[in-house]
Amino acid sequence: MNHRPEVGAGVERADLSNRTALVTGATSGVGRETALALGRLGATVFVHGRDRDAGRTVAAAVEDAGGDAVFFRADLAEQDTVRRLAAAVRDRTDRVDVLVNNAGAHFSTGELTADGVEKTFAVNHLAPFVLTHGLRDLLPDDGRVVTVSSEVHRRFEGPLDATGLDDYDGLDAYARSKLANVLFTAGLADRLDGPTANCCHPGFVPSSGLWRDASLPVRTGVGLLSRLPRRLVGGFADTPATAADTTVYLAASPAVAGVTGTYFSDCAPAEPSAAATDPEHVRELWRLSEDLTGLSWSR
């Protein structure tokens, strides 16, 4: 029997009709399952991705599941394209009830974007920073921002600067970006008046497209895990559908309507790393993010 995230999250009776949700990285994996679940709950889902054909396929699946859907194509590595994505969304609607910052990437080889930022940090953190900034006034008082982080954030303690490639390590870069997701959530919760901001660990998903740019040994390892029977890996690995439970929970559950600035795992609050709860690290990340994007957030 196929797993449905809304059932796993206990929100299968939630009614998201007349609600609009934007899910980044929604053409495959956890993002696709999140988009489909929100569609089944009645939401209008803005499906984001880089591949037009895959995006249209997911949008059609959302509509088949009972929701309405629109596909938006954008590469989140460049800030200009993220800004254009925000503008395209604004042209389509005057309200975003749920923003799911799900898109993520892991790169085994260090690379700077055209903006001069390490690419993993650019995609996984600065893109949510810029996109959320561009849509912040479309969030209603009961709006929700959900950012997908990872338990891997515990691997990294600092520094957060991401403008160089000295001694580049793909996993460290990924961990830094995931720590930034948790710190971003804390800072965002402090700046939003009404809407909530939370983040989560979705689980380890060997079949996720996240690993497509990883090194050959990593791709080989997770590829083998993805082909093992669920009964053998269920204790430590998730399918995209089971990994979407917590994201869908944060997007739709009435139980978290007033909860903000919190890290979740398995549909429950969890304690992030000490580095992720350090107020100075939150301030440091915010200063760095504003410097790298030229954006300014008022409290």
- Of the candidates 86, 165, 175, the one whose C-alpha atom is nearest the C-alpha of residue 124 is 175
Average pLDDT over residues 267-290: 96
Q: What 3-state class would DSSP assign to 257?
A: coil
Of all helices (H) and strands (E), which one includes residue 40? helix 29-40
The predicted structure's pLDDT at residue 116: 95
Catalytic option among 168, 174, 249, 263? 174
> Which residues sit opposite 264 in a β-bridge?
200, 269
- Across 44-53, 122-131, 186-195, 221-230, least confident range: 221-230
The predicted structure's pLDDT at residue 2: 87
Strands of the sheet containing 268-269, edge to edge, are 68-73, 44-49, 20-23, 98-101, 144-148, 196-201, 262-265, 268-269
Q: What 3-state class would DSSP assign to 14?
A: coil
| Domains delineated in the chain | 15-293 (3.40.50.720)
Q: Report d(CA 81, CA 28) in Å as an integer.
A: 20
CA 127 to chain centre: 10
Q: Over 50: is that where the pLDDT of 234 sits?
A: no
- At 96-110, the pLDDT tens digits run 999 999 999 999 899
The predicted structure's pLDDT at residue 206: 59
For the chain, report the end-to-end CA distance as a whole number of angstroms. Answer: 47
| Summary mean pLDDT of the chain | 90
- At 163-216, the pLDDT tens digits run 889 889 999 999 999 999 999 999 999 999 999 999 999 987 654 445 454 454
Q: Report d(CA 23, CA 39) in Å as an integer.
A: 11
Q: Over 70: is that where the pLDDT of 23 sits?
A: yes
Q: How confident is the model at residue 298 (pLDDT cuts 50, 70, 90)?
A: confident
Q: Over 80: is that where the pLDDT of 38 sits?
A: yes
Determine whether 174 is an active site residue: yes
- Of the candidates 241, 296, 19, the one whose C-alpha atom is nearest the C-alpha of residue 144 is 19
Average pLDDT over residues 222-231: 41
The predicted structure's pLDDT at residue 271: 97
